[in-house]
């Protein structure tokens, strides 16, 4: 038997319903479970009653602050797979929250996409092409592989804060915070227990749309404030994959959500991305130090390997770009000209064009520089430069640079961004 100490109250032996609530509260640091003493064992009945009342009140307050999830629109016919997570095979960083991993299939106008609620990962995205349908995103075989294998963020949602925070440090309302440093001395993509490692609730799912919701508690990965994150994938009438990002909180915190899909419009199993013809609607990139942390300055792309104002292949200056910061390719944040079209990519051999639009101020071009040939997915061993990412975002390290658009979210100022990947063939 165990005693649960909550708000300085000790209780013993709870009902199943209260035990479930307290288990959830334990995960967010609101309760502590300890071994009972002989004296504490004498007060079982009164303690149980008090604890049940307090647990219910605390859970009601938390849900009122963060928001609840409506499952009434769930279309279970869209579920194409449901997997209980194998604890023997699971990556130690995965946070299941007691939920099962589920796999969903969305389709419209010949576009088919398979996603899982583990990290909102896009497992496959099939687009009609000259020679038939092509899967144009790198990924693993199934949801279980996403739970069991280390991978370079294949198709997942990243947060609370995507990209890098210098030294993993920031201040908010006079309070100093130190996050995990999982990228050398810096914090990357929310840390080793970021949103990509969590099983999300599915709020609703239809033929062409799915809504994922995650309640991230105060202190999760070191971040302050309870945060409700909502990510919606929609295949639109215009043949676009639209991603809507929403974040709401009960107190001041920071957030920067994005999707980390690796694209290859020649097919996910093509050797590299060098022959993609890319245009980026940007005149500057953010200046960075040796650790790829923005300094607050900007670099004019004119006359540099980073200039995609006119169409050129990704491979044309890739090596030169990698030599600038020792990145082995592109890994840079482009300052976008404004809401609307951010980039256009074309694969001549397949006839697929992808146009990226967003209301985010920045977009990270990343060319899979650290894919090292050790990871295998969907029958392919992926190599360096097998895929490229166009990650729309707030600027990296924005919390530490006042001149950048703020990544702060408050109760009165929730966050909303969108990205569209429109396909033509």
- Residue tagged active-site, from 52, 102, 203, 391: 391
Over residues 241-298, the pLDDT tens digits come to: 999 999 999 999 999 999 999 999 999 999 999 999 999 999 999 999 999 999 999 9
How far apart are alpha carbons 314 and 329 in whole angstroms? 10
Q: What backbone torsions phi and psi does residue 398 show, to the nearest 5 degrees?
A: -60, -30
Separation of CA 291 from chain center? 22
pTM score of the predicted model: 0.80
Q: Closest Cα partner for 377 from 158, 135, 159, 105?
A: 135
Asked, colleague to colleague, whether 76-245 and 277-416 share their fold, the answer is yes
151 near 386, Cβ under 8 Å? no
- Residue tagged active-site, from 151, 187, 189, 260: 260
Kindly give, in sequence order, each residue whose CB lies less than 8 Å from that of residue 156, ignoring residues fewer than 6 positions away: 119, 120, 121, 122, 146, 195, 196, 259, 260
CA dist list (Å): 242 to 37, 139, 191, 223, 231: 56, 19, 26, 28, 10
How far apart are alpha carbons 1 and 152 in whole angstroms? 42
| Range scoring the smallest mean pLDDT among 14-18, 186-190, 313-317, 370-374 | 14-18
Over residues 216-239, the pLDDT tens digits come to: 999 999 999 999 999 999 999 999
DSSP H helices, 6-130, are 16-27, 38-41, 44-66
Over residues 114-128, the pLDDT tens digits come to: 999 999 999 999 999
Question: Domain 76-245, what architecture?
Answer: Distorted Sandwich (2.70)
**Cβ-count burial 163-175 (b if 16+ within 10 Å, e if not):** bbbbbbbbebeee
| Range scoring the smallest mean pLDDT among 42-56, 102-116, 276-290, 321-335 | 42-56
DSSP H helices, 277-404, are 318-325
Check if 102 is active-site. no
Check if 385 is active-site. no
280 near 364, Cβ under 8 Å? no
Q: Where are the domains of the chain?
A: 3-66, 76-245, 277-416
Determine the pLDDT at residue 19: 45
- The top-level CATH class assigned to 277-416 is mainly beta
């Amino acid at each position: 038997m165990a005693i649960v100490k909550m708000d300085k109250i000790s209780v013993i032996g709870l009902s199943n319903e209260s035990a479930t609530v307290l288990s959830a509260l334990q995960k967010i640091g609101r309760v502590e479970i300890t071994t009972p003493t002989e004296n504490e064992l004498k007060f079982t009945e009164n303690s149980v009653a008090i604890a049940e009342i307090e647990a219910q009140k605390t859970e009601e307050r938390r849900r009122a602050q963060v928001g609840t999830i409506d499952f009434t629109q769930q279309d279970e016919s869209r579920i194409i797979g449901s997997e209980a997570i194998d604890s023997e095979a699971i990556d130690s960083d995965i946070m299941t929250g007691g939920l099962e991993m589920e796999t969903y299939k969305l389709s419209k106008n010949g576009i088919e996409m398979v996603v899982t609620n583990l990290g909102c990962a896009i497992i496959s995205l099939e687009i009609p092409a000259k020679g038939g349908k092509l899967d144009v995103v790198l990924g693993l075989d199934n949801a279980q592989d996403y739970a069991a294998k280390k991978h370079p963020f294949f198709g997942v949602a990243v947060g609370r804060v995507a990209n890098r925070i210098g030294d993993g440090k920031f201040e908010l309302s006079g309070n100093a915070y130190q996050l995990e440093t999982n990228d050398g001395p810096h914090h990357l993509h929310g840390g080793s227990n970021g949103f990509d490692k969590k099983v999300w609730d599915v709020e609703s799912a239809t033929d062409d749309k799915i809504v994922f919701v995650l309640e991230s508690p105060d202190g999760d990965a070191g971040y302050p404030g309870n945060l409700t994150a909502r990510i919606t994938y929609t295949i639109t009438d215009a043949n676009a994959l639209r991603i809507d990002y929403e974040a709401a909180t009960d107190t001041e915190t920071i957030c920067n959500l994005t999707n980390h899909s690796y694209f290859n419009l020649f097919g996910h199993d093509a050797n590299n991305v060098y022959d993609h013809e890319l245009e980026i609607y940007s005149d500057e990139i953010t200046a960075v130090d040796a650790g790829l942390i923005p300094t607050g300055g900007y670099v004019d792309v004119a006359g540099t390997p980073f200039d995609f104002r006119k169409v050129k292949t990704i491979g044309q200056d890739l090596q030169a770009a990698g030599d600038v910061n020792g990145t082995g390719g592109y890994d840079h944040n482009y300052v976008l000209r404004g809401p609307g079209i951010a980039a256009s990519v074309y694969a001549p051999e397949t006839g697929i064009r992808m146009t990226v639009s967003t209301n985010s101020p920045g977009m990270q071009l990343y060319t899979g520089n650290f894919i090292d040939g050790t990871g295998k997915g969907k029958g392919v061993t992926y190599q360096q430069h097998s895929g490229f990412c166009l990650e729309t975002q707030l600027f990296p390290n924005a919390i530490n640079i006042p001149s950048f658009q703020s990544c702060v979210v408050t109760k009165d100022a929730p966050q909303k961004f969108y990205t569209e990947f429109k396909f033509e063939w």
